Structure formats: structure tokens, C-alpha cells
Amino acid sequence: MRYLNKIIFINSARIQYAEIQIDGNVHFIGTQGVGKSTALRALLFFYNADKTKLGISKEKKSFDEYYFPYVNSYIIYEVVVDDASYCVLAFRSQGRVCFRFLGTGYKKEYFISPEGKAYEEWDQIRDALGSFVYKSRRIETYEEYRDIIFGNGRGLPPEFRKFAITESRQYQNIPRTIQNVFLNSKLDAEFIKQTIIMSLNEEDVRIDLGQYAHHLRRFDEEVTDISKWFRKNKNGEVTVAAAGIRIVASQNIGRKETLVLAVSLSLGLGVELMPDVLSQAPEAIRSIFSSGITTGGLTAIIANIVIRVKEENEE
């Protein structure tokens, strides 16, 4: 199970230091101005990485100015993955928010010196983490960050796959849905349902039924063939299958007949049990040999002509 476990503010949003545990059902309670919206926007930013869609009005400070006013301002997200955990370090560099993925759970001493001051340089944090902790390169685009978090591994190095909280190439609706829920105060069940529906991709999905036509025709033919074998007469007897068995049993079967029967039954049952074996064959071939009865019958006729077995005379 993968989930966001903790958010840590360091010199961020007028907060010198705070850890917020969010590994379950969490209620933010407090009067206006105590930081509920600050925490929720930081939480939303983890999922959508879009500072223009955090519900910040134009009259207020920008996201970068408010959450990352200093060189040692950080938001750290701790994520639990099965029995391990990792951190996402969000920080401001060259005028924009960037990310680094760290292959370890959160420890205060990684980011704050023994004197109680947050490290200002990445080299200091790197040294505090030690040589055995994985440290990613700087992630400078929000799109690449979202690709990592939501498991869109196409075009990403394999080293980032372990940081995905889910795996989806078409993940755009996930942060959009979370965003729509976060930015509204009406949270009854009907509203959440409608929000999810409205967040879904509005593009039409077209299914070409023509490519499934031969599967439908083949299914109908198979049902017809099987029903003929087990069709009952007025007395309730299964005549076709029984008659076939009687015919085979009444014949003097030699080595050639046994071989013909084995080959024809094998190929007939083969196309029934493994229909995909003809998937790459031309349409004309598929239409003829898609039925096990047709395949077995034609195989029996051809095998009877081609196969030659020298019978030994009994003394």
C-alpha cells in the first residue's frame, strides 16, 4: 500500500517548523487564520504540482513567495511504500519550485543542523543524508514530477519507478479530481460523486466494432456446431455424437487410421483450445479453419490421402 504519510514545513508559510501526520482520517479544526488552508494547499500541491490551481487569490502572495520565502524554506512529503518510505523534497531554486526524491524516511537531522538552523545548501543536506541514501537529480518541471508520482514510466529512467504512488499513463483525471474536491467546501456524498464524474475526460471514446465481427461470427458458428453434436431426438437420445462413436467403434482401425484420427483430432481440438493460433493468418484462412470441426474434417481427408503406412501381415 502506498500513501502520503506526513508533511513537514521548514521555514515555510510563516512556519518555522511543523510536522503534520496525515496517515488516515485527519480533521483540521481551528479558527480562521490558524493555517488550515495553508496545510491543505501544500497537501494538494503534492498531487497536482500546479501552483496556479491551488485556490490562491490574486490579492495574496504567490505560492512561491508564501511557501518558499528563504533559501532554506522546504516542504517535505514523506510517502510510505509497503514496508519502506521515501521523501519528496520541495524547494525553491532559481525562482521556481523544484523537487528531489530521497530514498529514505524523514528524519529531522537530515535538514536541520544540531544548532537548530535549517541547512541552506543542498550539499549540506546531501552530506547529512549520507552516501547510502538515494538522492535523485533535481526535478525542474511539474510535468516530470507528476509522471513520477503517478507512474507514467514512459520516457523516465527506471530508477524513478519506485516512487510512484500509482501506475497510470492516463493519470490527468486523478489530480483534477483531487483538486476539485479540495477547493470546494461542500463535501457531501452526492457532490463528491458529481465532482468525480465532471472531472473525467470528456473526449469521446470510440470502439470499432468491425474488428470484433469475426469473433462474433466464430462464436455463433461454434455454438451451432456444438449444438449439432449434442442434439437429441424425440426419445431424448443424443444421436449425432453417439452415431459418430458407433461408426468409429465398428471399423477395423489399423495404424494408418489411428494416425489419421490422432492428427485430425489434435488439430481440431487445437484451434478450439487455442483460437489465437490463427490470429496472424489471412482472413480467408481464419474463416475456414476457425471451427474445430472444419479443421478436423479437412485434416482427416488430407491425412488419409497423404499418409502411407505399411501394414505388417500377421503370421
Q: What is the pLDDT of residues 121-146, one digit of tens each?
A: 999 999 999 999 999 999 999 989 98
User: Per residue in 145-186, pLDDT tens?
Assistant: 988 988 886 777 888 988 988 876 667 777 777 777 676 655
Q: Smallest Cα–Cα separation from 79: which of 43, 27, 108, 48?
A: 43
The mean predicted confidence, pLDDT, of the chain is 79
Please compute Rg for the chain using Cα positions. 34
> How is residue 251 written as a grid cell?
471399423
SS3 79: strand
Q: Which of 27-41, 164-178, 212-226, 250-264 has the lowest mean pLDDT?
A: 212-226
Q: What is the mean pLDDT of residues 246-263?
A: 74
Residue 232 or residue 89, greater confidence: 89
Q: Which of 86-90, 98-102, 149-153, 191-195 has the lowest mean pLDDT?
A: 191-195
Q: What is the mean pLDDT of residues 25-54?
A: 85
- State how far the Cα of 77 lies from the Cα of 89, in Å rounded to an integer: 7
> How is residue 307 written as a grid cell?
499418409
Residue 116 or residue 242, greater confidence: 116
In this predicted structure, the answer to whether residue 67 has a pLDDT above a threshold of 90 is yes
- Indicate the pLDDT class of residue 197, thresholds 50, 70 and 90: low
pLDDT for 106: 96
- Indicate the pLDDT class of residue 254, thresholds 50, 70 and 90: confident
pLDDT for 213: 61
pLDDT for 314: 46
Between the CA of residue 213 and those of 14, 49, 104, 204, what are the distances in Å? 64, 44, 53, 22
In this predicted structure, the answer to whether residue 259 has a pLDDT above a threshold of 70 is yes
- State how far the Cα of 9 lies from the Cα of 185, in Å rounded to an integer: 24
pLDDT for 257: 77
In this predicted structure, the answer to whether residue 283 has a pLDDT above a threshold of 90 is no
Residue 284 or residue 204, greater confidence: 284
Between the CA of residue 102 and those of 20, 106, 193, 239, 273, what are the distances in Å? 19, 9, 35, 73, 50
SS3 62: coil
Q: Smallest Cα–Cα separation from 102: which of 49, 138, 69?
A: 138
pLDDT for 83: 83
pLDDT for 152: 80
- DSSP 8-state symbol, 232: B
- State how far the Cα of 183 lies from the Cα of 185, in Å rounded to an integer: 7
Q: What is the mean pLDDT of residues 65-77?
A: 94
Q: Smallest Cα–Cα separation from 49: which of 103, 96, 118?
A: 96
- Indicate the pLDDT class of residue 70, thresholds 50, 70 and 90: very high
What values do phi and psi take at 90, rounded to 5? -105, 130
In one-letter notation, the amino acid at residue 272 is E
Q: Smallest Cα–Cα separation from 244: which of 263, 225, 259?
A: 225
- DSSP 8-state symbol, 165: S
